[in-house]
Chains A and B, each alone.
Chain A
Amino acid sequence: MNNACYVYPGAPATPGRVTPDVRFRRGIYMDGSMRFDDGNSVTIWGFTDLAAGQGQMSGGSFPSPAMRVTEGQIVHTELTVNAMWMHTIHHHGIEPSQENDGVGHFSWGVTDGTYTYQWRPKHAGTYFYHCPTNTPLHAEMGIYGGLIVDPAPNPNDPVGTKRAFANGPIYDVEAIWAADEIDPAWHNLQWAAGTCGGDVGLNNLNPKYFIITGVDGANSALTAPGVAVNMKLGQTLLARYICAGFHPQKIDFGGLTVSVVASDGRPLPVAWQTQAIEAHSAERYDCIIKPTTTGTWTVTVQFLHWRTGAVMGTARTRINVT
């Protein structure tokens, strides 16, 4: 902790702790990498999934493993961090008690121990989780993952029916598109860089790469499994779009009209029909897409400079309907 200032170490007992319905066990890796279509790569950090056999300090995926829970469940997110580092988890859009919100200066940052975040999601929808320690750096380094809250099953629905929210639209196919920008100049810093003062450039993000859910949007995301969508005519797609970068974005669905049914984990009073969405950092939009013909549509995310509005770059994926 010699090079860290304004950090608030702790890993106390969870207030009011009970037996959970769902439990996630997360470690931290800071030795990952992402390779881009041009052959270059950058260092990536993230959460590991201890329950899946990933290491406590190494070996995680990017983005971090998604969490999936059902509304009303009591959830435990256990975060274990070694004595050299400090990290926390904020479940963005989830609104728990102060102690379980994961913001260091309002609670603590986890180091040399384990803290268990206890929460019970009330509203189905699209969220994400990330580390709010030295947030500009840690989020840019990739310490985030998707968080999906499903509605409680409707007893009148056939088994296996998937809905966006209680009594909401039914879908067959799902995509999670977390659109993010990468500035390689930020990817060589230590975890507490700048916290004691000094200019490490965290006010100035000049991205060179533009990605969708951990895949380079230059070319790879056009066909990458888990990003590009392959569906049958007649099926319904729920595309969960997460604005995971820091600059504003505009997502265009390539001529498809989408029905935006929810945003930020709340249903819209009236679904919004649109062919494009402008969003800013951390917003989420749940889009129902029902193509009426076979074909291929290219979905394009433009990354807009927060000051000039200029398009800094684009990331693309596809919806293939057969």
Chain B
Amino acid sequence: MQNGTAIPTSFTPRYFTINGLTSLPPGAPGHGDPTRDALADPRSQLSGYVGDRTLVRMLNAGMCSHAMHVHANHMEWLTDRGSVRPSIWKKDTIQVRNKLGKIDAIFPFEAPPDAYPPVTKGYFPMHLHDEMSQTAGGGLYQFGSATEIVFK
């Protein structure tokens, strides 16, 4: 699809992926299989120790705009559609637009700031907050475009 191509009005998406896979929640066949489950796919999953600042490049290869949402930390928003932003905002949700939108951000792997007692380990989701994207075939919440953030 070329940038600027008109989007057909008849298109209604029914499946939503990240790097070609959907998330498969606990209890689902394939859960935890890195070749089938986007939660466990090392191409998608963010995994690190506290201090492992991680650059995340997010590309919109689909037809809908999405809201990229991380738990556990705010992201440092660096670029939008190929341009360096004038100042770095800390965001828990960033829009990646359709028509080949793209953003770069740092996930800082800081200890989750609002935990009490403090923690340095845990499992958290990264998902799209336009929640239609968290479904498959019109239902099956948790079988959509999401991955996992692992504080080792």
Judge whether B1 is part of the interface by a CB distance below 8 angstroms. no
Partner of A264, one of B90, B124, B137: B90
Task: Indicate the size class of the contact surface on chain A.
Answer: 35 or more
Cβ contact within 8 Å between B112 and A280: no
Judge whether A247 is part of the interface by a CB distance below 8 angstroms. yes
| Chain A residue contacts of B79, Cβ below 8 A | none
Cβ contact within 8 Å between A264 and B134: no
In the complex, A193 Cα to B135 Cα: how many Å? 11
Cβ contact within 8 Å between B116 and A282: no
| Chain B residue contacts of A194, Cβ below 8 A | 135, 138-141
| Chain B residue contacts of A22, Cβ below 8 A | none
Which of B26, B115, B130, B142 has the largest number of chain A CB atoms within 10 A? B115
Cβ contact within 8 Å between A195 and B140: yes
Cβ contact within 8 Å between A119 and B115: yes
Shortest Cβ gap from A63 to chain B (Å) = 17
Partner of B123, one of A16, A106, A118, A246: A106
Judge whether A208 is part of the interface by a CB distance below 8 angstroms. no
Judge whether A290 is part of the interface by a CB distance below 8 angstroms. no
Smallest CB gap from B73: residue in A: A95
| Chain A residue contacts of B43, Cβ below 8 A | none
| Chain B residue contacts of A195, Cβ below 8 A | 139-141
Judge whether A199 is part of the interface by a CB distance below 8 angstroms. yes
User: Which residues of B81-99 have CB atoms within 8 Å of chain A's CB atoms?
Assistant: 86-95, 98
Cβ contact within 8 Å between A119 and B141: no
| Chain A residue contacts of B140, Cβ below 8 A | 6, 194-195, 197
Judge whether B122 is part of the interface by a CB distance below 8 angstroms. yes
In the complex, A148 Cα to B74 Cα: how many Å? 17
As a 0/1 sequence over residues 126 to 145 of chain A, the CB contacts with chain B under 8 angstroms (1 = contact) are 00000000111101100000
Judge whether A205 is part of the interface by a CB distance below 8 angstroms. yes
Shortest Cβ gap from A65 to chain B (Å) = 20
Cβ contact within 8 Å between B95 and A248: yes
Partner of B26, one of A8, A15, A196, A309: A8
Cβ contact within 8 Å between A281 and B130: yes
| Chain A residue contacts of B53, Cβ below 8 A | none
Which of B11, B90, B123, B141 has the largest number of chain A CB atoms within 10 A? B141
Partner of B138, one of A119, A140, A204, A278: A204
Shortest Cβ gap from A109 to chain B (Å) = 11
In the complex, A198 Cα to B26 Cα: how many Å? 19
In the complex, A92 Cα to B94 Cα: how many Å? 14
Known contacts A194-B138, A202-B138; A16 and B116 CB within 8 A of each other: yes
Smallest CB gap from A135: residue in B: B131
Cβ contact within 8 Å between B64 and A96: no
Cβ contact within 8 Å between A246 and B116: no
Judge whether A35 is part of the interface by a CB distance below 8 angstroms. no
Known contacts A119-B114, A247-B130, A280-B95; A136 and B141 CB within 8 A of each other: yes
| Chain B residue contacts of A50, Cβ below 8 A | none
Judge whether B119 is part of the interface by a CB distance below 8 angstroms. yes
User: Which residues of B104-132 have CB atoms within 8 Å of chain A's CB atoms?
Assistant: 112-117, 119, 122-125, 129-132
Known contacts A95-B73, A264-B92, A307-B64; A204 and B114 CB within 8 A of each other: no
Known contacts A195-B141, A199-B138; A100 and B115 CB within 8 A of each other: yes
Cβ contact within 8 Å between B92 and A265: yes
Shortest Cβ gap from B95 to chain A (Å) = 4
Partner of B131, one of A121, A136, A201, A270: A136
| Chain B residue contacts of A137, Cβ below 8 A | 141
Shortest Cβ gap from A184 to chain B (Å) = 16
Cβ contact within 8 Å between A198 and B138: yes
Q: List 20 A-B contacts (CB under 8 A).
A: A97-B119, A100-B115, A105-B25, A106-B124, A106-B125, A122-B114, A123-B113, A136-B135, A136-B141, A202-B135, A246-B131, A248-B95, A263-B89, A265-B92, A269-B87, A269-B89, A270-B87, A283-B95, A307-B65, A307-B98
Would you list the 9 A-B pairs with minimal beta carbon distance, nearest first? A194-B139, A199-B138, A98-B122, A136-B131, A280-B95, A280-B67, A120-B116, A266-B90, A281-B129
Additional 14 contacts, C-beta under 8 A, given A204-B12, A309-B65: A6-B26, A6-B28, A95-B71, A95-B72, A137-B141, A139-B131, A198-B137, A202-B141, A203-B132, A205-B132, A269-B89, A270-B87, A278-B95, A308-B9
